[in-house]
Amino acid sequence: MKLRLEDNSLRLRLSEAEVRHFAATGRVAVGMALGPTQQESLTYALERADSEEFRVTYGTGTLTVKVPAALADTWTSTTQNGLSATLMVAKNQPLRILVEKDLDCSH
């Protein structure tokens, strides 16, 4: 899974295998060491959520994008390539969320 942060946008791109894993389990995550200790790492995840809105959470080195279950199920079971939402965050700043299938991905 690829993570891209740019200005006020967050994008996750999932390989076909990751999309299948997400469909089966409701979660896919990647961990990345940023230093020599466990505390110096970043985990980013996509989760199916029992809600009607996208959410983004961050805490203890973990960034999680939560997608409404109905949208997640449709996305994983059809040819629909992406999901998107705009959240209003701190000081009424928009945060654009995009989750895409990386169909040309070979990793």
Given the DSSP bridges, would you call strands 41-49 and 9-14 parallel, antiparallel or unpaired? unpaired
Higher pLDDT, 37 or 85: 85
What the block records as the tokens of 6 is 């740019």
Q: CA of 43: how far to CAs of 57, 58, 62, 63, in Å?
A: 12, 10, 5, 6
Hey, what are 75's tokens?
Answer: 């996305």
3-state class (DSSP) for residue 77? helix
Q: pLDDT digits over 37-83, tens only?
A: 888 899 999 999 999 999 999 998 999 999 999 999 999 999 999 99
Domains recognised in the chain with CATH numbers: 2-101 (3.30.1360)
